[in-house]
Amino acid sequence: MNYFKEKNIFSGLIALLLLWACQPEANNDLSPIIDQIKSEFAPDKRVALFNLAYEGDTLKGETNLPNALETLESKLDSMGLEYINEVKLLPDADLEGKTHGVVTISVANIRSAPKHSAELATQATMGTPLGVLKKAGSWYLVQTPDKYISWVDAAGIALMDEKEFQAWEDAEKVIFTGLLGYVYEDKSEQMMVSDLTAGNVLEVKANAQNHYEVQLPDGRSGYINKQSAAPFHSWLGTRELSDENLINTAKNMMGVPYLWGGTSIKGVDCSGFTKTIYYLNGQVIPRDASQQVHEGELVDTDKNWDNLRVGDLLFFGRKATDDRPERIVHVGMWIGDNSFIHSRGRVRISSFDPSSPNYDEYELGRYLRTKRIRQVPSENIISVDKVIN
């Protein structure tokens, strides 16, 4: 072969190798970049979606975080990477603007997957507004006011567009203040339209002597007795995180059975119980114990019960070791007199006083620390009036 021809072929091969070597590493694997942005914008998958992958020359997946997606796109553009963007930004366009939902039943079960057999992740009570992200069969992926993302059966919510949701927001409302009750077909209170649980919110259509005529978010209507309801904004005005209010609300739920994922009077898990106590006193706090523990001020780690005040949250679990991290598995609320109230098996009162009949050696043994969230500002703790107008 001609020397010059061989040289040209060799030079061409070198040029191709250099060109290949200079391509961004992301051509082969973008996962480190995706993971970095996910850790920055969506470190907790319970409250944010950023499920992306790079396959071949295509960016795929879905997210409800436009800022995170824009950051990733800017990063890839700065690398000079050419790619096909097939990422679905939620809420899904297929919803055709119906991106709001309002719970229409006393307690909606919100599950970890779109099927009734899936784990119960959390609950939402009647009148709770939800952000709707997408649909799968007869299920909707929704985000609750505490940002939790899970699936709810279509039968449990009313879908609304922006105008419909604003109309519901602007409507006069009442809140059910009893523990358990009913909406009735008429004032005779004979036939039931729906059951009710504490904290349910309904629209007022008329105000009679002994009843409110109400409308549920899905359009059903009926009557509730005034003795078990109050105008929503009047009720809000009475909500203060006083010792008496917190203790009374908690003790009114004594004996309610433990339910994994429960956040209502029908059944509560440990963090669902503390969440419900605060909700019925006007505050929305994070859903899980492992989230609640990051709020507020540290009060105690040394079992100095004199430092604790009513409403403080006590956290229990496994201490960190050299080879494994701390694990928060339980939470309760301090009620004074060396005692706290919590949901374990059922809502109960436990004591750290060895002479008390409620002495709880088991919880004492796994106690980790106490946090004070009452009247401690946080972007993750919001007033109920910021959720329901």
Q: Which two tokens stand for residue 132?
A: 């709707």
Task: Answer yes or no: 342 catalytic.
Answer: yes
Residue of 211, 233, 294, 330 marked catalytic = 330
Asked whether the bond before 91 is cis by omega within 30 degrees of 0, the reply is yes
Q: Say how many C-beta atoms besides its own lie within 10 A of residue 223's C-beta.
A: 22
Task: Answer yes or no: 116 catalytic.
Answer: no
- Residue 228 backbone phi and psi in degrees, to 5: -115, 20
Give CA torsion, residues 374, 380, 384, 389, to 10 deg. Answer: 150
- Residue 231 backbone phi and psi in degrees, to 5: -55, 135
How far, in Å, are 80, 183, 223, 321 from residue 214 at the CA level?
59, 8, 6, 55
Task: Answer yes or no: 211 catalytic.
Answer: no
- Residue 136 backbone phi and psi in degrees, to 5: -140, 105
CB 195 within 8 A of CB 181: yes
CB 225 within 8 A of CB 165: no
Residue of 100, 211, 270, 294 marked catalytic = 270
d(CA 330, CA 71): 37
**Catalytic residue IDs:** 270, 330, 342
